[in-house]
Amino acid sequence: MTQRSGVVAVVVTWNRRDLLAESLRAVLDQTSPPDHVIVVDNASDDGTADLLSGEFGGVETIRTMHNVGGAGGFALGIATALRRPCDAIWLLDDDTIPRRGALEALLDVRRRYPGGTPAVVASRVVWADGRDHPMNTPRRRPVVRKRERAAAEAVGCLPIRSASFVSVLVDAKAAAATGLPVAGFFLWNDDFEYTTRLLRGRVGLASRASVVVHKTAAFGATETDPGERFFYEVRNKVWTFTRSGGLGPAEKALYAGSTVRRWARTYAGSTDRATLRRALAAGLRSGVRGKPVDTATVIEQATGGRGLDG
């Protein structure tokens, strides 16, 4: 087993009782298991609470008053983890099934990387049939110095600029210095915005040795027709490009251009373009005119006024 100190795993769930059970069993059965596990239950009503109090009674559970989405759930989970003794936080979705050595491989990269402790180490994400899942492919760092590339290759990794919350190991010191995910995003792009902030001026790596299975209902990339949820994609990307400090000016231009191209592909492949047009218009209006609800406020409301002290 890889020698290391405290790791806290954070899993956010909403109405995926069976998948959550499979995920937690895999998390607890790691060759190098986390020292502590926190589950943020977004007010599930499918028996998740009974599952957690029964089979997983040793797991710390935070049950919110209402569904605050993945963004609010991870913000609350990270904030809670930072109040526990830990050096790293392992973030996972409730439909993520890590293979048995997934965490040990992440920790091995963290320990052996010659350029200091990485702020982020992301897993390789595959679908149920073993194909790399295009929805969760970390974005490579566009400009990498030869020395940085060599350091990443020395531990079997690629330098990255962002990653998803499907399975990512975050350095606790970097998380404390960066702040929390923007809970007001509710869902979509919260992980992109957060990891770009974490990785601005810091090292992020994608490991091929750490493998997790993302059990989405279908195999597909972000171009898959999102229906009404396209609103969150549009609004949150606008907020990311206009309000976040995660990207520099040149990066914003680069990623905004790729975003518009992806939106065009999504629209072209949609069977319900009227819905996408409405979601696009509403997302643009909300992104330009509005702003995310303050993360502290979301957490306060989600915990019934207890905030992070409850």
State pLDDT tens for residues 158-210: 999 999 999 999 999 999 999 999 999 999 999 999 999 999 999 999 999 99
Instruction: Return the higher-pLDDT residue of 143 and 134.
Output: 143
Is the pLDDT score of 286 beyond 70?
yes
Residue-level pLDDT at 224: 67
What are the DSSP E strand ranges found in the chain? 7-13, 36-41, 60-63, 88-93, 96-98, 120-126, 139-140, 157-162, 167-171, 204-214
**What is the token pair recorded at 13?**
């769930």
3-class DSSP assignment, residue 292: coil
Sign of CA dihedral 154, 156, 161, 165: negative
State pLDDT tens for residues 196-239: 999 999 999 999 999 999 988 776 655 567 899 999 999 999 99
Is the pLDDT score of 2 beyond 70?
no
Is the pLDDT score of 255 beyond 50?
yes
Query: Mean of the pLDDT values across residues 254-262?
Result: 93
pTM: 0.93
By CB atoms closer than 10 A (0-12, 13-18, 19+), residue 233 is: buried
Tell me the chain's radius of gyration from C-alpha atoms: 19
Average pLDDT, the chain: 92
Query: Mean of the pLDDT values across residues 68-95?
Result: 96
Is the pLDDT score of 119 beyond 70?
yes
Query: Mean of the pLDDT values across residues 256-262?
Result: 93
